[in-house]
Structure formats: C-alpha cells, structure tokens
Amino acid sequence: MKNLQVQIDAHSGFCFGVVYAIEMAEEILNDEGVLYCLGDIVHNDEEVKRLKNKGLIIIDHQVLSELRNEKVLIRAHGEPPSTYELAIKNNLTLIDASCPVVLKLQHRIKNSFDKGDSIYIYGKHAHAEVIGLLGQTNNEAVVFQDISELDLATVPKNITLYSQTTKSTDKFYEINDMLKGSGIEVNTNDTICRQVSNRDRELRDFAGKFDSIVFVSGTKSSNGKVLFNVCKETNPNTYFISNSDQIDSSWFSENDRVGICGATSTPMWLMEEVKERILTF
C-alpha cells in the first residue's frame, strides 16, 4: 500500500443546469420507465450509461423527425425554435430542461436579432448550445471560435457581441478589446455562466495543493478539455481519465497527496468511485 491521501474537489461536479436536467429525467424514468432524450443528456459516458440503464433513450434530430406522440427531454444546452415547431407538428411532449442561463441568452439574442443588430457569437462551431443560439437568428449570426477566423476589415463597424455560456471570460474580453481596438463599435454582452467560468480560478488553487491530480471527465466535454488544461498548467502531474479503470498506480509515489476533480459534466458518484480505486493502491 502506498498510503495515499486522496481528496475530491468540493467545487467539482455537475453545474446546476445539468443537475436540473438529470433530476427531471430521473423523475420521469422512475414514474414511467422510459424517456427519449434529444442528444446526450450530459457529455459524460458513464452518467449516460447509468441513465440508459434506467430507461433513457438517446435520439438525434433525424429520429426526432420520425417520432410521434412521445415525451422527449430537451437537455440543458437548449434547442433552436425549429425543434419546438417539429414537436407541435409530431404531437411530441417536450420536457424542457434547458438551462435557465442558456434560455436567458436565447431570448437576448432573439431580441437583438428582431432589432436588426449584426450579431456575433463567440462559441464553438456546431456545439449544441450554439446551434440553439443560431436558431434565434435564422442562422444569420456569425459564430467564431477565435478572432483569427474574422476578417476584421469586413466586420461591420457596429456589432452586438455574445458568448456561448461556457467560454473563457478572459478570452471573451480579450476578443472584445481586439475588436474595439480595430475601430469596431461593440455592444458587449457578457453571457458567460460564472459557475463555469469561476472554475478556472478554483481549479488552479486546488491543483496546486497536491502532488498529483486525477481529472475525471467525458471525452466529449468541451468544458472538460479546457479545465483539464487549467489543472495541467498548474500541476504537470495531472492525468485525464473517464472512468476508474483507466487509473495507473505508477502515477503515484508513496505518501503522495492526490487531488480528484472534474468537469461541470462529471458526476460526483464517479469521482467517489475514482477515489475508492486510488485508495486500493
């Protein structure tokens, strides 16, 4: 035995939007035993597997278009107006678990679009949340992941800037300053969720307190990739895993202090499982 001291980051685990969606799903699954969900309810394979075992059926938009007279969960990322229109057409009951922060952002973008604003969205191309945001503008808004994608000479001289809720606050304001520095008048809307963005600072503090860090996240989680790199920058002995089977005992030396943390899509039960596995070394 290596006599490892293991601690789970108290701030890690699901954000409130994911908690809300999963609680809604479990309530229906407990009552009815089956529920359709449009896309993975959360970007964590282990949690999706757990809910599938309870009767959750993950579908895509193609399957949705063929579905009739069923209940379908809208996950925290939100959906574009076309999904709601299809639901009415196909007599589907939508269980809307869209994150309140995302819904508020959708409404703000819709209002800007109705006023005729030139809308730019800092976000990840083809991300579920961004697709929902674009839908508020008839897909006319400009989405960019990095300012290098924009030809600043052709950007309108007056734009309205929004951000996907899970992007970096620092990066958003860096982009905002670069746009303004190029002579563009920017109506800036900081729409980043602080529960997510504040994780950067919290994780840097956490990662610096241990000999090694085990970061637990699904491979599909954009937030997980960003937060893993935050930990890695602070503590080079940071390891990315998706489940407890991937842990390697050679990562740890005798009497090491080991920290466990994760993405906002990582369930606490999974981090507890990881802790129990590490304590067997």
High-pLDDT (> 70) share of the chain, %: 100
Same fold: 5-13+196-278 with 101-192: yes
Q: Note the pLDDT of residue 168.
A: 85
Determine the CATH number of domain 16-99.
Answer: 3.40.50.11270
CB count within 10 Å of CB 201 equals: 11
High-pLDDT (> 90) share of the chain, %: 92
Q: Note the pLDDT of residue 194.
A: 87
- Architecture per CATH, domain 5-13+196-278, reads as 3-Layer(aba) Sandwich (3.40)
Inform me whether the pLDDT recorded for 223 exceeds 90.
no
What pTM, to 2 d.p., does this model score? Answer: 0.90
- Report the chain's mean pLDDT, rounded to a whole number: 96
pLDDT tens, position by position, 190-217: 999 988 888 888 999 999 999 999 999 9
| Better pLDDT: 148 or 220 | 148
Q: Note the pLDDT of residue 276.
A: 97
pLDDT tens, position by position, 37-54: 999 999 999 999 999 999
- Residues marked active site are found at 129
pLDDT category at 231 given cuts 50, 70, 90 is very high
Q: What is the mean pLDDT of residues 235-254?
A: 97
pLDDT tens, position by position, 84-103: 999 999 999 999 999 999 99
pLDDT tens, position by position, 154-195: 999 999 999 999 898 889 999 999 999 999 999 999 999 988
Structure tokens at 71: 């209940």
Q: Note the pLDDT of residue 30.
A: 97
Inform me whether the pLDDT recorded for 220 exceeds 90.
no
The CATH number fitting domain 101-192, selected from 3.40.50.300, 3.50.70.10, 3.40.1010.20, 3.40.50.2300: 3.40.1010.20
Instruction: Report domain extents, the chain.
Output: 5-13+196-278, 16-99, 101-192
Q: What is the mean pLDDT of residues 128-137?
A: 97
